[in-house]
Amino acid sequence: MDTKFFQQSIDLIAQANTIAIALPQNPDGDVLGASGGLTLALGEMGKTVRILTPNSFFVPEKYKFLPLFSQLFSTQSEVALCINCPTVAAVRYEKTADGLTVFITPKEGGIAQKDVVLKPLFNSPDILITIG
Q: Strand, coil or helix: what is 110?
A: coil
Other CB atoms within 10 A of residue 2 CB: 7
**Contact indicator for 85, 115 with CB cutoff of 8 Å:** yes
pTM of the model: 0.62
* 18-22: strand order across its sheet: 73-74, 48-52, 18-22, 127-130
- Spell out the long-range contacts of 105-110 with Cβ–Cβ below 8 A and sequence spacing 24 or more: 109/85
**In angstroms, how far is CA 12 from the centroid of its own chain?**
20
Per-residue pLDDT of the chain (132 residues; tens, 9 = 90+): 678 888 988 999 999 998 988 888 778 888 888 988 999 999 999 998 888 776 556 677 787 777 766 555 555 566 677 888 778 888 888 988 888 888 888 888 888 888 888 776 666 788 989 888
State the Cα–Cα distance between residues 126 and 52, nearest whole angstrom: 14
Question: In 33-98, where do the E strands start and end?
Answer: 48-52, 73-74, 79-83, 88-96
